[in-house]
Structure 1
Amino acid sequence: MSDDRHPPARFNAARYCLGANAAVRPDKTALVMVGEGGAVASLTFGEADRAVRGIAAGLLGLGLQRGDRVMIRMGNEADYVLVYFGALAAGLVALPSSPQLTPSEAAFLMENSGAAAVAVASGCMVDRAALAGRILLGPDDIAAMKAGGPVADYADTAADDPATLVYTSGTTSRPKGVLHAHRTIYGRRPMLAHWLGLSESDVMLHAGTMNWTYTLGVGITDPWAVGATSVLYNGPRDPGVWPRLIAERRATIFAAVPSLYRQILKYGDLPAHDLASLRHGCTAGEALPVDILEAWRTATGKPLYEALGMSEISTYVSSGPTIPVRPGSPGKPQPGRRVAILAPEGAPEPLPAGETGLLAVHRSEPGLMLGYWNRPDEEAQVFRGDWFAGGDLARLDADGYLWFEGRNDDLMNAMGYRVSPNEVEGVLAEHPDVAEVGVAELAVRSDVRVVCGFVVLQPGAEPDAEALLGWCRARLAAYKCPREIRFLEALPRTANGKVQRKRLADALA
């Protein structure tokens, strides 16, 4: 049995997004990819369904077994999403990843996840020695699968069967895998009406890249869940391209991070474009500054709806068509969500309105992760009784609006990605000129914070910030790299010798 919140016991996420659409609206455009110079490629729902089932057959034909992990290392291209859903259609587990990963970062994900196969785009850096017998699938292999005989039907999976493994920064020096079930996609349903306002007639333009769960979810999965059209872009990232694409593609909803909205407002020449088709904008990944909210509404006359979420559950607090915007707050828990504020210590009892504590979601939430991949210790830290508390501090006011109060740990938010300071510190500490290092966010403007490395140099070493930044760029994905380096005589520490990351910026004074 199913209800409005929970999927049927037997549920396949790929079938949910593609099967009905292929039957009911096979000739409707499902995906539009716009490239440099306005080049356009598109897929109908019928074509996407056929390609996904072909890839599923190809993967199974390689001997992959139910539950095997398929790592995807591609850029913003249609094959990314087709391989993703192809893995789910075959009953395998998709592992989305970034093409920005260095060979060593990619090798860690392959090893840690136990990936059985890796699908890569042309030009993707691959350490063949690190493959260690794993199946490597290039563009020609994927093309052959799409053209081959498809599986007759999507895999008969349970709603709780693993479907997606997403790596995110943890409190240790290495990323941790967040394992999601097929039911997670069904668990996104409250977002559709209460944040995105999505329906079959919509055209969703997302400014992100497919390796990000924000894009894969909001830009592809959610529109396809209701039979809407997705538009993505893989050309040069000029802020002026987004108003042009809204006008050209007649987009009704636009999704991006707040920092991109700021760039569009500053450089996008909004008055030069016809935005009549646009109903509203949506934003997540970073807190939405009030000045951007007001400037967007003034410049376009369109609402801007914010959401708060995390890799473990996606977005579950938002403003939207049914939840009026309250500037400074990301909104209210979406109807049907069981959200509470818990005391940071002691029994996991919900706190009354107005008190600050840990933002928590009930275990019964269908969008909640299955758990952390092979990280039982960290998993035990975030589950408190019947509640999942990921470390965000917040309060709920008397009207039910949530007010974010920061993190209860040291995780940073860089360009919408959660980044562990431990991971960045580990890379900087390997530089021969570095004696000690701490990493934390640094405010470079009132509303802009960047990842910063605070470095104590070895005796006799000369301060060279650019050399250290280059060192990081060679060893870390771009979004993890520090944007600033600051040099200190000593790092602030506790009496027990632990670096006080929250005091690093104060040490500059």
Structure 2
Amino acid sequence: MPDESRAPQRFNAARYCLAENARLRPDKPALVLAGPETASVLTFAEADRAVRGIAAGLEALGLPPGARVMIRMGNEADYVLAYFGALAAGLVALPSSPQLTAEEAGFLLRDADASVVVHGNGIAIEGADAQGRILLGPEAIAAMKTGPAREDYADTAAEDPATLVYTSGTTSHPKGVLHAHRAVHARRPMHAHWLGLTEADVMLHAGTMNWTYTLGVGIADPWAVGATSVVYEGPRDPGIWPALIARHRATLFAAVPSVFRQLLKYAGADASDLSSLRHGVTAGEALSAELLEAWTRATGKPLYEALGMSEVSTYVSSGPTIPVRPGSPGRPQPGRRVAILPVDGPPEPLPPDEVGLLAVHRSEPGLMLGYWNRPDEEAAVMRGDWFAGGDLARLDAEGYLWFEGRNDDLMNAMGYRVSPVEVEAALAAHPDVAEVGVAELAVRADVSVIGGFVVLKPGAVADEAALIAWCRDRLAAYKCPRAIRFLGALPRTANGKVQRKRLAAASAR
């Protein structure tokens, strides 16, 4: 790997993002929290001081190095400050979504054995899950931000754990992906080869704070080069994005493809003032050739796609140095070791245009430290010296990547990986459901949603709305099925296993 992506041995991710900025450009806006009409601004000096204050406050709690700090808040500046404050103190930040139900949040808390929960108003941890934990609400964080501050950031090693993010796996519960401080430094190749990011940029990100796409591309990457981050905190109105681009003179706009699609459909992107925008960047879902063509035709602006995952971050992309090829997310960024391995057999890279498992070499500085307390699952994704996450793909003779599906049943919902097992467990608990399978369901040529395929108990009435509402009470919104199809029987193998890849076809008969 090139030196640009490998961190020095002693390295703290929070210091890397803030300390030099506070010294060189203290009064420059670091984070703009934009509402529909107004915005609040945090300078680099203010962010640096607040983060070191939170770090000192957390340190005063007597926590051991590496203790987990769960963050359960909405889209607010304190989410970012608490996240970097945990890193600055040598602790492990556990970002979580405010959409999680109490049961889902409780699982994360117990599985990670988090010592501290930083929570926003109305998003507390209650009951048995709160016992023995330190709960820090908005008032406690406000006091830390202005209280005594650490003089410097924790002297952590690049290999020390920094972030624990949860992602769906092949079981009914998500699994924790543990990343080291070095993972933030390992993002450097994407600055030139995907984002085209410089100190002069203003990055507007459409995601929520808890998502690694937002924390990485929306916050850490701009801060790493001294650029300004803009994050939206208001109602999710597709029409807001062109207005925010114009108001904040955003030069880069990051979102999932579905946001770009909504922007074109509802916000009149072709008639909006996008003069400040240099290009858009997208990840999380596959960018269809049709959407790419519609965006460039309507706006005249490039749209660069990237491929990443919770375990590795972003390592394949198009961008200023990698020409766009419609239908492909691009090529491995310079320095990344990417290969296609046989699904079965020795982990020897396949030649161009052969389909196999997409893999990243274990030398990749952005690769996770491992799965939290899941050694069996960790062993399952390592093929010799390669990490293979389950995507089937091929690399053509020019190095461009082409997807060929998944080797497992994981689904993609608005950029989040979702396990069908988790959704099936929620639906199966409904008193009217006899059998259930869950899989992606295509509703348009380039749009898929999570679909529930249900066999009802005798005498039960088919009520799609009731089943979806049942799931909403038990699952985060992005995990909930958007459609229910009722079947007489589920397609199964000779051994009785549900064939999830045949569910959509079975419902169409």
Which TM-score band (shorter chain)? Answer: over 0.9
3-state DSSP class of the match of 2:4? coil
2:21 maps to 1:21: yes
- Write the letter of the residue equivalent to 1:30: A
**Within 5 A, what are the aligned runs for 1:123-142?**
123-142=122-141
Residue 4 of structure 2: aligned partner: 4
Q: Deviations over 1:337-374 (max 9, x none)?
A: 00000001111000000100000000000000000000
C-alpha distance in structure 2 between counterparts of 1:506 and 1:40, whole Å: 48
Shift of 1:114: 0.5
Shift of 1:440: 0.3
Residue 372 of structure 1: aligned partner: 371
3-state DSSP class of the match of 1:254? strand
- Write the letter of the residue equivalent to 1:436: E
Residue 459 of structure 1: aligned partner: 458
Residue 406 of structure 1: aligned partner: 405
- Write the letter of the residue equivalent to 2:170: T
Shift of 1:127: 2.2
- Write the letter of the residue equivalent to 1:76: N
C-alpha distance in structure 2 between counterparts of 1:194 and 1:374, whole Å: 34
Residue 34 of structure 1: aligned partner: 34
2:448 maps to 1:449: yes
Q: Deviations over 1:485-506 (max 9, x none)?
A: 1111111111111110001111
Q: Deviations over 1:237-294 (max 9, x none)?
A: 1111101111110000000010110110011122443211110000000000111111
Count residues in correspondence: 507
8 Å Cα contact 2:164/2:177 also seen in 1: yes
8 Å Cα contact 2:5/2:187 also seen in 1: no
**Within 5 A, what are the aligned runs for 1:214-229?**
214-229=213-228
Q: Deviations over 1:377-426 (max 9, x none)?
A: 11001011110000011100011100011111000001110000000001
3-state DSSP class of the match of 1:330? coil
C-alpha distance in structure 2 between counterparts of 1:456 and 1:484, whole Å: 14
C-alpha distance in structure 2 between counterparts of 1:347 and 1:288, whole Å: 32
**Within 5 A, what are the aligned runs for 1:97-496?**
97-496=96-495
**Within 5 A, what are the aligned runs for 1:59-70?**
59-70=58-69
- Write the letter of the residue equivalent to 2:3: D
3-state DSSP class of the match of 1:344? coil
C-alpha distance in structure 2 between counterparts of 1:272 and 1:347, whole Å: 54
8 Å Cα contact 2:55/2:150 also seen in 1: yes
Q: Deviations over 1:171-216 (max 9, x none)?
A: 0000000000000001111111000000000000001111111111
Q: Deviations over 1:226-245 (max 9, x none)?
A: 00000011111111110111
Of the structure 1 ranges 91-100 and 124-133, higher mean CA displacement relative to structure 2 is found in 124-133
- Write the letter of the residue equivalent to 1:31: L
- Write the letter of the residue equivalent to 2:490: L
C-alpha distance in structure 2 between counterparts of 1:315 and 1:489, whole Å: 42
C-alpha distance in structure 1 between counterparts of 2:15 and 2:505, whole Å: 53
- Write the letter of the residue equivalent to 1:128: G
Shift of 1:5: 2.6
3-state DSSP class of the match of 1:439? strand
Provide the aligned C-alpha RMSD in A: 0.9
8 Å Cα contact 2:343/2:357 also seen in 1: yes
C-alpha distance in structure 1 between counterparts of 2:286 and 2:446, whole Å: 9
- Write the letter of the residue equivalent to 1:25: R
8 Å Cα contact 2:238/2:259 also seen in 1: yes
C-alpha distance in structure 2 between counterparts of 1:271 and 1:406, whole Å: 33
- Write the letter of the residue equivalent to 2:447: V
- Write the letter of the residue equivalent to 1:9: Q
C-alpha distance in structure 1 between counterparts of 2:475 and 2:223, whole Å: 33
3-state DSSP class of the match of 2:3? coil
| Residue ranges of structure 1 left out of the alignment (5+ in a row) | none
What TM-score results when the alignment is normalised by the length of structure 2?
0.99
Residue 83 of structure 1: aligned partner: 82
- Write the letter of the residue equivalent to 2:206: A
C-alpha distance in structure 1 between counterparts of 2:51 and 2:34, whole Å: 21
Shift of 1:465: 1.1
- Write the letter of the residue equivalent to 1:123: G
**Within 5 A, what are the aligned runs for 1:490-509?**
490-508=489-507, 509=509
C-alpha distance in structure 2 between counterparts of 1:165 and 1:184, whole Å: 12
C-alpha distance in structure 1 between counterparts of 2:484 and 2:114, whole Å: 35
C-alpha distance in structure 2 between counterparts of 1:19 and 1:491, whole Å: 57
What TM-score results when the alignment is normalised by the length of structure 1?
0.99
Shift of 1:117: 0.4
Q: Deviations over 1:134-193 (max 9, x none)?
A: 011100000000010101110000000000000000000000000000000011111110
| Residue ranges of structure 2 left out of the alignment (5+ in a row) | none
The sequence identity of aligned pairs, in percent, is 76
C-alpha distance in structure 2 between counterparts of 1:4 and 1:193, whole Å: 11
- Write the letter of the residue equivalent to 1:491: L
3-state DSSP class of the match of 1:30? strand
- Write the letter of the residue equivalent to 1:13: A
Shift of 1:125: 4.7
Shift of 1:35: 1.4
8 Å Cα contact 2:87/2:162 also seen in 1: yes
C-alpha distance in structure 2 between counterparts of 1:387 and 1:8, whole Å: 23
Q: Deviations over 1:441-494 (max 9, x none)?
A: 011111111001101111111111111111100000000000011111111111
C-alpha distance in structure 1 between counterparts of 2:452 and 2:74, whole Å: 28
C-alpha distance in structure 1 between counterparts of 2:60 and 2:98, whole Å: 26
